[in-house]
Amino acid sequence: MIPPVRPRLTEDGTRWLDAAEAKVKADPGAVLALFPAAGRACGRGPLPETGWTVDLAVRATLLTALPLDGEALGELLFDLYTHGDTAERLGVLAGLDALDGRLGDAGLPIVRDALRTSDTRLIGAALGSYGAARLPAEAYRQAVLKCVFTGVPLDTVRGLDTRADRELARMMADFARERAAAGREVPADIWPVVERHPEVLAELTTELPSLSSGAL
């Protein structure tokens, strides 16, 4: 889930990450000082073809070294997240998927906080496989709707295969009606969700025939 980052690091970067992992294994609290320094120590360039950056992968990798699980892990991650700048917050969110088995639901407060922000990077990152699998249905639907509303592309959002239910399709269709009534563009991202539920789709396209033509 976390792309291998070591091949992209310089010698100094590799040494830093090795030492940081060892420190965190010996003393989880050490992560508080190491986490903000990851970008300066290892770089911030892109990891080609992954959509990740070096600092993001280094931070997520560092979290997997934490010798904790359950509530204790959740609390430390929340502390890192809540006192983190945006890059650090993204690092915590990126680490959740790999930690799912050890965390249980203890990482959900982080996902919920990210979804409450207005920063589209955080909103998108909250819907990795961890958030997508563990958010209750109502919260998941609201999160997907918020993505469409704020312009976060749904192709990075996980869980739509299994969780895009009729109610979410209904919410998307209503959103399309609202936009159409306001004379504004309807985001293309609503269609894959609406199309999963032919009766919702049929109702919407009968009502607003002009919408369907371009989109289908």
Partner 1 sequence: MRIFDPHIHMTSRTTDDYRRMYDAGVRALVEPAFWLGQPRTSPGTFADYFDGLLGWEPYRAAQYGIRHHCAIALNPKEANDPRCRPVLDLLPRYLAKDGVVAVGEVGYDEMTPAEDEVFQAQLALAAEHGLPVLVHTPHRDKAAGTRRTLEVVKDSGLPPERVLVDHLNEMTAGMVADSGCWLGFSVYPDTKMDVHRMIALLRQYGTERILVNSAADWGHSDPLKTRAVGDAMLADGFTEADVEQVLWTNPVTFYGQSGRLDLADDAAPAADYAGNTIKRGVAP
**DSSP result, 113-176:** HHHHSS-HHHHHHHTSHHHHHHS-HHHHHHHHHHHHHHT--GGG---HHHH--HHHHHHHHHHH
Q: Is 85 in the site for partner 1 (CB under 8 A)?
A: yes
Instruction: Tell the residue number behind the tokens 């986490």, with chain if given.
Output: 35
Q: Which stretch binds partner 1 (CB under 8 A): 16-24, 60-68, 87-95, 128-136?
A: 87-95
Contact string 106-125 vs partner 1 (x = CB under 8 A): -----------xxx-x----
Q: Of the two residues 53 and 61, which places its CB atom closer to partner 1 in the complex?
A: 53
Task: Give the span between the Cα atoms of 212 and 200, in whole angstroms.
Answer: 12
Q: Which stretch binds partner 1 (CB under 8 A): 9-17, 84-92, 93-101, 186-194?
A: 84-92
Q: Do 118 and 146 contact (CB within 8 A), yes or no?
A: no
DSSP, collapsed to helix, strand or coil, labels residue 47 as strand
CB of 87 to partner 1, least distance (A): 6
Mutual orientation of helices 31-42 and 54-64 as an angle, nearest 10°? 150
Q: Of the two residues 120 and 129, which places its CB atom closer to partner 1 in the complex?
A: 120
Q: Of the two residues 23 and 121, which places its CB atom closer to partner 1 in the complex?
A: 121
Pairing of strands 46-47, 52-53: antiparallel
Among the listed residues 104, 113, 102, 52, the one whose alpha carbon sits nearest the alpha carbon of residue 78: 113
Within residues 17-46, the interface with partner 1 by CB under 8 A covers: 32-33, 36-37, 39-40, 43-46
Q: Of the two residues 50 and 212, which places its CB atom closer to partner 1 in the complex?
A: 50
Total interface residues for partner 1 by CB under 8 A: 22
Q: Which residues bind partner 1 (CB under 8 A)?
A: 32-33, 36-37, 39-40, 43-46, 53, 82-83, 85-89, 117-119, 121
